[in-house]
Amino acid sequence: MQYTVVFQPAGCRGLVSAGENLLQASRNLGVAIEAPCGGGEICGKCKVIIDSAMSNLSPLSEKERKVLTPAELAGNYRLACCARIYGDVVVFVPEQSRGANQIVLETGRHVALELKPAINLYYVELNKPTLEDFRDDFARLKDALLSRFIQIDKNITIDYRVLLRLPDVLRQSGWKVTVAVWNDTEIIAVAPGSESKAYGIAVDVGTTTIAAYLCDLVTGDVLTQDSMMNNQVRYGDDVISRISYCMMNDDGLSLLQQSVIDDINTLVKRMTGSAGIQPDHVFEIILVFNTVMHHIALKINPQYIGSVPFTSAIRESVTVKAREIGITIAPGGYIHCLPIEAGFVGADNVAVLIAEEPYKQDKMTLIIDIGTNGEINFGNRAGILSASCATGPAFEGAQIKFGMRAAVGAIERVKVDPVTKEPEIKVIGQNTSDHEEIILAKGICGSGIIDAVAELFKAGIIQADGGFNKSIKSPRIRQGPDGKFEYVLVWAAQTTIGQDITITQKDVRAVQLAKAALYAGAKILMQKQGINKVDSVILAGAFGSYIDKENALVLGMFPDCNLEHVVAVGNAAGSGAKLALLNKDKRIEAQVVAQSVQFVETAAETNFQTEFFNAMYLPHAKDSFTHIQHILDKIPQC
């Protein structure tokens, strides 16, 4: 015997078998009712209100009499896990019982939002076709979806590849299937029986590193994350050299595209393998990247982004079947690329913005995302300006004599005694509490470089103009092979490379250029906003999490700010991609942001040269730094 049950206010209705409880019925109909105990008649959270004759349900159980208040009993409340169905019934699910899954992301700030993925699963049981009911398979499935789930678009379509399998899947499953629907408008998978496996992947395709996050679209959980080197580095370290490669080689674009597609497929395989799930259950990938990585991944000629006026082929979000670009997930699955801004400022910056939401705040926030390119954003709810800064790769350890990536053996922390001028270093892999093992230094990574230059400045070894103070006598300060001064950070004997690891004058200049680019960019944006101080600074990018905020300010990487309001948020681009994956409203937000953020071509501003020149000084030629003045005051004057 079957009865009709309707859940309000969702409006979902369907047939259920006699004796089934309301909680089971709600799950089959895709209605979320809170039941932390999983329907074990324990938690008492699954309260619902019955709008029909109570005689159509099993009598009140002991458990319900205990949990429900007299007022609730009088108001026809029941526990969904206890009330069994023996007649047609209309159920109202009150606000507090509605299962509103929240996504909470581990990032610099606590981001909590509703789980609202583009892909949802719907379970339906169909009547078998007969000579009287000879509807086609698709119409049968569509009718069932439309009759049970009001959110489904009445013109819902089915992916061609999924259609091919539909007749067999329906019959092999005994006409009970779970349907994956994209944006409630297209069936992108049909699986036999009741199924709750739906996954998505957020990918941040950086010029150097690709980071990916595998998420459960049903629970909102991040199951695993992984990253790898972008194998395009074989064809060039930065976006300009990648563009050149595409221009100089007939098959350059094809090679570069295949490289990044292979990388993404590798990550998909690795992550689904480690999470023990099928790649076929991955229904969507959100991609964020800078504009050049975006174009190459989509196999669009990136040449015109590389020269004035830096025109991209398409800025709005691109949604394309994964199979169209060779990414191996579910056959009907989608790739969604967040929209890009302008020039080199890409979807990754848009992702940072939707993760940090400066446009929802009153305080004037400066967001610095330091990757192989530096992007900065400045503003608040009144408007956001963004710019691209040619920092060069110094902060990633490149173009530094002993620079290296952040890996075992890299010097990540430096202190220099202002009196003895002797350094104290921390090497990645060296567990300070474990005095047994000593990891020898191999080179210096970005955070170490920032520390080193700032510490040399604080110790008076480097002057405000970046030049070495030649009057200081120390065995560590000497002239290098190029005749210029250098500071020996580690003697050869304490290294794995058998050479003295030094900070050269050239290294200092590279850091000055990089930080001046960021600072000048920020200053231009502040001037455009008519604002002369920043309320808070957000350091995005993995790199931002490792640097010493105080030393960064001493260097003058960003304008003066209370250090308590300087936060590192890790890979905010990745967080933004995850948010867009788990809540499709964030994609609309991304479109709005990409359109409304005003891109400033800082290098084209008349005062850029002046600002850049002033920012070359440590911390700055003119601007005051009240929040670190006490440190600057202690610098030995020579």
Tell which positions 560-599 bind a copy of itself, by CB under 8 A: 599
CB of 139 to a copy of itself, least distance (A): 6
608 binds a copy of itself (CB under 8 A): no
Residue 84 DSSP symbol: B
Is the Cβ–Cβ distance between 98 and 107 less than 8 Å?
no
- Give the shortest CB-579-to-a copy of itself separation in angstroms: 24
Among 136, 153, 262, 482, binds a copy of itself (CB under 8 A): 136
Report how far residue 301's alpha carbon sits from residue 254's, in angstroms, rounded to the nearest whole number. Answer: 10
CA distances to 16, 246, 401, 440, 511 from 444, rounded to whole Å, are 66, 32, 9, 12, 13
Tell me if 248 contacts a copy of itself by CB under 8 A. Answer: no
- Contact map string, positions 332 to 371, toward a copy of itself, x by CB under 8 A: --------x-xx----------------------------
Q: Taking CB under 8 A as the rule, does residue 304 contact a copy of itself? A: yes
Helices H / strands E in the chain, number of each: 17, 29
57, 181, 298, 618: residue in contact with a copy of itself (rule CB under 8 A): 298
Which of residues 171 and 470 has its CB atom nearest to a copy of itself in the complex?
171
According to the binding rule CB under 8 A, does residue 139 interact with a copy of itself?
yes
Q: Among residues 99 and 331, whose Cβ is nearest to a copy of itself? A: 331
Smallest CA-to-CA distance from 365 within 381, 354, 349 is with 381
Residue bearing tokens 């009445």: 154
The only residue of 130, 431, 433, 606 in contact with a copy of itself, by rule CB under 8 A? 130
| Share of the chain residues as helix, strand and coil, in percent rounded to the nearest 5 | 35, 25, 40
131 lies in the binding site for a copy of itself (CB under 8 A): yes
Enter the DSSP assignment of 53. -
Please tell me the number of Cα atoms within 13 Å of 206 on its side-chain side: 24
Residue number with CB closer to a copy of itself (79 or 170): 170
Nearest C-alpha neighbor of 94 from the set 75, 113, 81: 75
Cβ 315 to a copy of itself shortest distance, Å: 4
- The CB-of-259 to a copy of itself minimum distance in angstroms stands at 17
Phi and psi dihedrals of 419, rounded to 5? Answer: -95, -55
Binding residue (CB under 8 A) for a copy of itself from 604, 606, 622, 633 = 604
Q: Report the distance separating Cα 174 and Cα 168, nearest Å.
A: 10
Are the CB atoms for 420 and 461 separated by under 8 Å?
A: no
Q: How far is the CB of 333 from a copy of itself (least distance, A)?
A: 15
Write the single-letter amino acid at 532: N
- Name residues contacting a copy of itself, limited to 142-161 (CB under 8 A): 158, 160
What lies within 8 Å, CB to CB, of 42 at 6+ separation is none
Question: Binding segment for a copy of itself among 34-42, 91-99, 166-174, 515-523 (CB under 8 A)?
Answer: 166-174
Rank residues 128 and 234 by Cβ distance to a copy of itself and give the closer one: 128
Retrieve residue 370's tokens: 């330091």
Task: Using alpha carbons, list the distances in angstroms from residue 44 to 60, 63, 115.
Answer: 14, 8, 23
Residues 411, 453: Cα–Cα separation, whole Å: 13
Candidates 301, 361, 380, 545: give the one binding a copy of itself (CB under 8 A).
Answer: 301
Give the integer Cα–Cα distance in Å for 331 and 161. Answer: 7
Cα→Cα distances 501→114, 256, 550, Å: 50, 35, 24
Residue 309: is the preceding peptide bond cis (ω within 30°)?
yes
Rule CB under 8 A: say whether 174 interacts with a copy of itself: no
The residue (of 31 and 296) whose beta carbon lies closer to a copy of itself is 296
Regarding 607 and contact with a copy of itself (CB under 8 A), the answer is: no
Shortest separation between residue 171's beta carbon and a copy of itself, angstroms: 7
Residue 314 binds a copy of itself (CB under 8 A): yes
Q: Residue 144 in contact with residue 124, Cβ under 8 Å? A: yes
Least gap, CB of 375 to a copy of itself (angstroms): 16
Specify the stretch interacting with a copy of itself by CB under 8 A; choose among 127-135, 274-282, 391-399, 585-593: 127-135
Give dist(CA 559, CA 620) in Å, integer: 9
Total chain residues near a copy of itself (CB under 8 A): 43
The CA–CA distances, whole Å, from 328 to 174, 258, 279, 281, 283 equal: 28, 13, 7, 11, 10
Q: Is 320 in the site for a copy of itself (CB under 8 A)?
A: yes
Q: Which of 54, 218, 313, 390 binds a copy of itself (CB under 8 A)?
A: 313
Counting contacts by CB under 8 A, is residue 318 touching a copy of itself? yes
Q: Which of 300, 488, 497, 563 binds a copy of itself (CB under 8 A)?
A: 300
490/524 with CB nearer a copy of itself:
524
Least distance to a copy of itself, CB of residue 131, Å: 5
Q: Which residues bind a copy of itself (CB under 8 A)?
A: 129-131, 133-139, 158, 160, 163-164, 166-168, 171, 298-301, 303-304, 308-316, 318, 320, 324-325, 340, 342-343, 599, 601, 604
